[in-house]
Amino acid sequence: MVTCLDTNVILSLRFQEPTAPQVATLLDRLDRVMVCGPVVVELSPRDPGAEGWLSQQGIEIDWTLDQAVWRRVALLHREHALRQRRSGGGAPRRVLTDYLIGAHAEVNGYALCTLNARDYRSFTELTVLVAGQDDS
Q: What are residue 88's DSSP bridge partners?
A: none
Q: How many domains does the chain have?
A: 1
Identify which of 102, 133, 110 has the alpha carbon closest to the alpha carbon of residue 38.
102
Q: Which domain holds residue 76?
A: 2-130
Gap between the Cα atoms of 95 and 48, Å rounded: 21
Whole-angstrom CA distances from 135 to 59, 87, 130 are: 21, 36, 9
Judge whether 136 lies within some domain.
no
C-beta of residue 5 within 8 angstroms of C-beta of residue 110: no
Instruction: Tell me the pLDDT tens digit for each residue of 37-54.
Output: 999 999 999 999 999 999
Judge whether 25 lies within some domain.
yes
Instruction: Tell me the pLDDT tens digit for each residue of 51-94.
Output: 999 999 999 999 999 999 999 999 998 998 888 788 777 665 65
CATH number, domain with residue 87: 3.40.50.1010
Gap between the Cα atoms of 86 and 15, Å rounded: 40
C-beta of residue 101 within 8 angstroms of C-beta of residue 38: yes
Angle at CA of residue 121, ends 28 and 38, nearest 5°:
65
Judge whether 135 lies within some domain.
no
Judge whether 110 lies within some domain.
yes
pLDDT over 90 percentage in the chain: 80
pTM for the structure as a whole = 0.89
